[in-house]
Copies of this chain bind each other. A is one copy, B any other.
Amino acid sequence: MLVVMRPNATPTEINRVVEAIKAQGLTPHPLPGATRTAVGMTGNTLAVDKGLFEVLPGVEEAIRVTKPFKLASREMKTDDTVVRTKFGDIGPGTFTIVAGPCSVENLDVTLRTAEYLMSRGVRWLRAGAFKPRTSPYSFQGMGVDGLKILAQVREKTGIGIVTELMDTEHAAAVEEYSDVIQIGTRNMQNFSLLKRVGQCRKPVLLKRGMSATLEEWLMSAEYILAGGNYDVILCERGVRTFSDHSRNTLDLSVIPPAKVLTHLPIVVDPSHGTGKRAYVPAMALAGMAAGADGVMIEIHPDPDKALSDSAQTISFTTMDGILDKLKAMAPVFGRTL
């Protein structure tokens, strides 16, 4: 951390900053300049609040130099994390495709989707049994009955299951029935829930919050890693901006910096990212080109009849087109599907 003094700061004020740094068990390094002094500090500044210094007289601002996350950082672990599962690896080299209906509606729709996916070599099914809905009057998901349908479908087809956990109350059930536990956008900073899945023995797919910075997102991953669960997959799904041509603004540009800062794999959700089915194929392909390790897409045997998110859900035929193009692109990006 670096504490920048105002140009007119007095020696007494500078000294007070030096003492405040020592009081935290850190070593101060005053750096006098032509117009003002800055005071650097060394030691473990992770737990120190910038505000401690910013409130002292004569201080202009404190600037954090070291990143506040550790286990998620590339500095701590240089090589890429590859999440290994019996349904395939998730991470660089491969390209993971996850697809399925927004919510578990019934056995038939779920099974038909899984059978289609397996026939195309896709090993992961997504579908929500618990649904976070903006309105209390909307369909809230089938709950544990939905989880059981997912387990049945896995047994019949051999497909892996990605499904959302919304609260600690259902953590044990979702851990039992799923192969990857999804933490949704609205819960990215539900810290009680993050601590809970840190205890789970299944990989966690962590969606980015609607207005989360990359650093905050990695701090939320840090909560899970700090709990002892190292299998975290990041999922970019669009952020909220002024832009109104799509439901959210899919921030593909977060992928290259994420790859610099963290070793964790990252996938892209073009369905929520755009909110409109016509835009999903282009953004799925752009996801691979931008460096993502996979995509997660909402599909349905009869999209117009999907119980939720029908506007962003694509048909099997559209999915075929995406898969064909991803396969054609993959060699350029050193990936195998």
Contacts and interface: CB of A to CB of B under 8 A. Distances in A.
A251 B285 CA distance: 15
Interface in A50-94: 50-52, 54-56, 63, 65-66, 68-69, 75
Interface in A15-39: 27, 29, 31-36, 38
A186 B258 CA distance: 22
A250 to B, nearest CB: 5
Given A42-B33, A46-B137, A136-B226, A239 B243 contact: yes
Contact of A245 (B34, B38, B214): B214
Indicate how many identical chains form the complex.
Answer: 4
A134 B187 CA distance: 13
A243 B63 CA distance: 18
Contact of A38 (B44, B65, B190, B222): B65
Contacts of A142: none
B251 A243 contact: yes
Nearest to A275: B51
Interface stretch (A121-129, A165-173, A174-182): A165-173
Contacts of A40: 31, 33, 38, 40
A282 B332 CA distance: 12
A251 B249 contact: yes
Interface stretch (A106-114, A150-158, A199-207, A302-310): A302-310
B186 A189 contact: yes
Interface of A: 2, 4, 6-7, 27, 29, 31-36, 38, 40, 42-44, 46-47, 49-52, 54-56, 63, 65-66, 68-69, 75, 132-138, 140, 166-169, 186-187, 189-193, 195, 209-211, 213-216, 219, 222-223, 226, 238-246, 249-258, 260, 273-274, 276-279, 282-283, 285-291, 303-304, 308-312, 325, 328-329, 331-332
